[in-house]
Amino acid sequence: MKLLYQTHSPYARKVLVAIHESGLAGEVEVIHHETSPTRRNEDVYALNPLGKVPVLITSDGTAIFDSTVICDYIDGLHEREKLIPANGEARWNALRLQTIAQGMADSGIVVRWETERRPEELRWSVMRDAQLQKIEAACDFVEMSVDFGGPLDIGKIALGTTLSWIAFRNVYAFEVGRPKLSAWYNAFCERPSMLATTLAGETHD
């Protein structure tokens, strides 16, 4: 299999961490591709009409995207404990947390557009602040409501990789005033899957 990847994408890192945690890292060739909303990467567009990574090319040549779908596909390929629980409360908690993390990453990207990526005269501080409020509220929800005990699942992977990107880009100081979240995050960052997939690089618009 091949993974079209970007070394500074929270969504791509989620997929690669899931691959490592599934024991499949040795079966996937990781190929870095730069993409952005304003620069067309023809190799990526040839596989994903949205022009985004990550894209997983399976052993039979099928292209699978986006990160949520890829993680679901990967979870069906290994014999370890599943990252997406099959049913019950564990399943819905994992999927809900993944959705929260995905939304935080989406909001964080908007924050970066409105603070540094968009031409200065076009930046909209109202939008920036509104997206920061979403990230803050999500972090507060996680601190108060998420049980970090039990096995690793896709929700925790999504949260950890999203927070790592928020820290990498200095989007929001999520550890301040949240001791439970902070302790869990720092421990999560020491996992071999995280140490093997560090974020790097700059965006190119």
Structure tokens at 144: 């108060």
Q: Give yes or no for a contact between 197 and 20, defined as CB atoms under 8 angstroms apart.
A: yes
Give the span between the Cα atoms of 68 and 75, in whole angstroms.
11
Give the per-residue SS3 of 73-138. Answer: HHHCCCCCCCCCCCCHHHHHHHHHHHHHHHHHHHHHHHHHHHHHHCCHHHCCHHHHHHHHHHHHHH
> Quick one: 67 and 116 in the same domain?
no
Mind listing the pLDDT tens digit for each residue in 40-77?
Answer: 999 999 999 999 999 999 999 999 999 999 999 999 99
> Quick one: 172 and 104 in the same domain?
yes
> Quick one: 121 and 160 in the same domain?
yes
Expressed as residue numbers, the domain containing 123 is: 88-191
Indicate the pTM of the whole model: 0.97
**What was the pLDDT predicted at 39?**
87
Task: Report the CATH number that the domain containing residue 111 is assigned in CATH.
Answer: 1.20.1050.10
> Quick one: 99 and 62 in the same domain?
no
Q: What mean pLDDT do residues 195-199 have?
A: 98
Query: 56 lies in a domain?
Result: yes
Mind listing the pLDDT tens digit for each residue in 74-102?
Answer: 999 999 999 999 999 999 999 999 999 99
Percent of the chain with pLDDT over 70: 100
From 47, 75, 103, the end of a domain falls on 75
